[in-house]
Structure formats: structure tokens, C-alpha cells
């Protein structure tokens, strides 16, 4: 069920790759949000779009705010300041935390959907020591048992025998710290 919530967002990204991206609404998300270089998108349960961007090195929440006259303002608020963390791609939400990644580390911050304010709590390291080199983007996803999966990718575009690109269950043990 959770996967189905994200399908329209992924469809938007897939359609946006076409040449008519900037000229044929409703596929105008870059102009709509003012986000430069979005690398990861997430729709939270409040309806806000969380945008992870290398250019902002963090995450912004984009949301509609009614003006009271039937029109809306599109607002964008920084919710994660990742200065110095080299955040590059992955973003997901689970159990009251938003997760984002650099090439070698997965971080998390406490987040409530619809929060729309900068998170002042320090980042927490969830996974450290992810192999670097090659493709550096990290897709993050949780399964129904709250296990976090992190894509590592291959060393090159053509990598016929890469251990990096294979799914390896049980390679890392993650425990919740209380």
C-alpha cells in the first residue's frame, strides 16, 4: 500500500524526462517548486513534497498555502540543512524520521509530516562505511518489517560481475537506539 502512494510521484519524474517538460503543464515541478537539481522526492502523509537536492545540500518541503481568495501560494521551506554532509540522493521517511544519504553514510532526523520548519536536532548516523566510487547515488527504502535497504550501484555503467550491485541480505546489522 505504501508503494502505491509513491507511484504518481515516480510517474511525474518519468514523464518529466521528456523534451516538453517545461512547456506542458501539469509537468512543471521544477518551475512550480523553484527547486534546483532535485535528486530525491518524497510525498509525506500531509501532502508536502520533500525535495532532496545536491545544490541546496539538504531537503526542502514544498506545499500549497491557500490565500483565502481561492488562489494558492506555493511555498518552499528548508527542513534539513545538510551543510558539510555531502547529501547526494536518497530520501525516505519511516517511524518519525526522515532519512537521507551521502555517498558513504545514511543519516536521519526527527520529522513530523507537515512540520514545515527547519529541523534543529543534529543528524544521527544510521549506516556508515558504504563502499564509495563508481555510481554514488543511494536510493533508500524500508520494507514492511522496517528494514532499510540502500542501493549501492555498480562501479561503472557496464559492470558485468559487480558484487556492489547485488542484493546482500544480512551484511549489516542495524539496531534502533533508544
Question: Does residue 174 sit within a domain?
Answer: no
pLDDT band at 65 (very low <50, low <70, confident <90, very high): confident
Residue 26 domain-assigned (yes or no): no
In a domain, residue 163? The reply is no
Q: Is residue 27 part of a domain?
A: no
pTM over 0.85? The answer is no
Q: Which domain holds residue 74?
A: 38-150
Whether the CB-CB separation of 90 and 140 falls below 8 Å is answered with yes
Give a yes or no: residue 97 inside a domain.
Answer: yes
Tell whether 116 is covered by a domain. Answer: yes
98-139 pLDDT, tens per residue?
999 888 899 999 999 999 999 999 999 999 988 777 666 778
C-alpha distances in angstroms, 17 versus 13, 31, 33, 164? 7, 14, 17, 27
The residue with greater pLDDT, 62 or 4, is 62
Domain presence at residue 168: no
Asked if residue 17 belongs to a domain, the reply is: no
Tally of domains in the chain: 1
Amino acid at each position: 500500500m505504501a508503494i502505491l502512494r509513491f507511484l504518481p510521484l515516480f510517474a511525474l519524474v518519468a514523464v518529466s524526462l521528456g523534451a516538453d517538460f517545461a512547456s506542458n503543464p501539469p509537468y512543471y515541478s521544477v518551475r512550480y517548486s523553484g527547486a534546483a537539481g532535485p535528486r530525491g522526492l518524497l510525498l509525506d502523509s500531509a501532502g508536502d513534497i520533500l525535495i532532496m537536492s545536491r545544490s541546496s545540500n539538504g531537503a526542502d518541503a514544498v506545499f500549497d498555502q491557500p490565500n483565502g481568495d481561492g488562489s494558492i501560494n506555493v511555498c518552499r521551506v528548508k527542513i534539513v540543512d545538510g551543510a558539510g554532509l555531502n547529501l547526494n540522493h536518497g530520501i525516505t521517511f519511516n517511524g518519525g524520521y526522515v532519512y537521507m544519504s551521502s555517498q558513504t553514510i545514511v543519516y536521519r532526523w526527527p520529522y513530523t509530516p507537515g512540520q514545515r520548519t527547519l529541523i534543529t536536532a543534529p543528524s544521527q548516523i544510521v549506516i556508515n562505511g558504504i563502499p564509495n566510487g563508481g555510481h554514488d547515488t543511494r536510493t533508500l527504502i524500508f520494507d514492511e518489517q522496517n528494514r532499510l535497504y540502500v542501493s549501492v550501484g555498480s562501479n561503472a555503467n557496464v559492470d558485468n560481475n559487480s558484487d556492489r550491485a547485488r542484493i546482500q541480505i544480512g551484511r549489516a546489522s542495524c539496531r534502533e537506539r533508544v
